[in-house]
Amino acid sequence: MAGPQRILALGGASLLPSSTDGPLHRYLLELAGRERPRICVIGTASGDNAEYLASFYAFFARRAEATHLGLFDRRVADPAAFLREQDVVYVGGGNTANALAIWRLHGLDRALRAAWDAGVILAGPSAGANCWFEASTSDSFGPEIGPLRDGLKLLRGSFCPHYDSESLRRPRYHELVGAGELPDGYAADDGVGLLFEGRDLSEVVASLPGASAFRVERRRGNQVEETPIRAKVIRP
């Protein structure tokens, strides 16, 4: 039988050796419930950047059976079958709009939904979190942050990553939600993960104390209410 539908949306996370986000990535692997889970990275949002893929393998290959699905030099004939064989699919950061467009050309939008339905855990930071929602804040179309309303819609509402690390994210997200340009949703600081089971938020975790997630909702008169969501700090 298929396992539960789970998505871990990360506000921002690094795979570099100097990063403090290792606990978040180990938490992700633990969700799979296997000693060496199978994990596949999809790096479309960064153009299958070789350095990013190297960082992925440097962290995960010691702890899991790691692989990747490249679309710029595609070697996998049946992505849907390939993704269903994984325990975890990790989507890297970068340009959300470009990733979504390329996925749809290759049928990866359907393949990811089928993997989610089959119990494969979906995860990722920044663009790798934006993509699962109906809509998000994005700098896909230039330096200014704007609304992106063309997500995969596995999760309801909108998402805003990098809530604490990019000074314009918070006010812009409030502006877009208040004006009705984005639906109500969630925001996350860097180093924070929101775990969804089905379409419901079940847990919020953080790699460092003080980092948080937020529920952001439109009220009367274009006002916005921001509600902090306590995060469980994952110890190294």
Q: What is residue 174's predicted lDDT score, i.e. its pLDDT?
A: 98
From the list 132, 137, 209, 204, the residue with the least C-alpha distance to 171 is 137
List the pLDDT tens digit at each of the 236 positions of the chain.
567 999 999 999 999 999 999 999 999 999 999 999 999 999 999 999 999 999 999 999 999 999 999 999 999 999 999 999 999 999 999 999 999 999 999 999 999 999 999 999 999 999 999 999 999 999 999 999 999 999 999 999 999 999 999 999 999 999 999 999 999 999 999 999 999 999 999 999 999 999 999 999 999 888 999 999 999 999 87
Q: Map 141-196 to HEC letters.
A: CCCCCEEECCCCCCEEEEEECCCCCCCCHHHHHHHHHHCCCCCCEEEECCCEEEEE
From the list 23, 1, 9, the residue with the least C-alpha distance to 236 is 23
Catalytic site residues? 126, 162
Q: Contact, 151 vs 114, CB < 8 A? A: no
Instruction: Give the C-alpha separation, 75 to 172, whole Å.
Output: 40
Q: What are phi and psi of 98, to 5 degrees?
A: -60, -45
Instruction: Give the C-alpha separation, 217 to 165, whole Å.
Output: 21
Q: What is residue 184's predicted lDDT score, i.e. its pLDDT?
A: 98
Indicate yes or no: pTM above 0.95. Answer: yes
Q: What is residue 2's predicted lDDT score, i.e. its pLDDT?
A: 67
Instruction: Give the C-alpha separation, 103 to 92, whole Å.
Output: 13
Tally the C-alpha atoms within 13 A of residue 208's C-alpha that lie toward its C-beta: 13
From the list 175, 184, 234, the residue with the least C-alpha distance to 214 is 184
| pLDDT, tens only, 190-214 | 999 999 999 999 999 999 999 999 9
* Domains identified in the chain and CATH numbers: 6-233 (3.40.50.880)
Q: What is residue 221's predicted lDDT score, i.e. its pLDDT?
A: 82
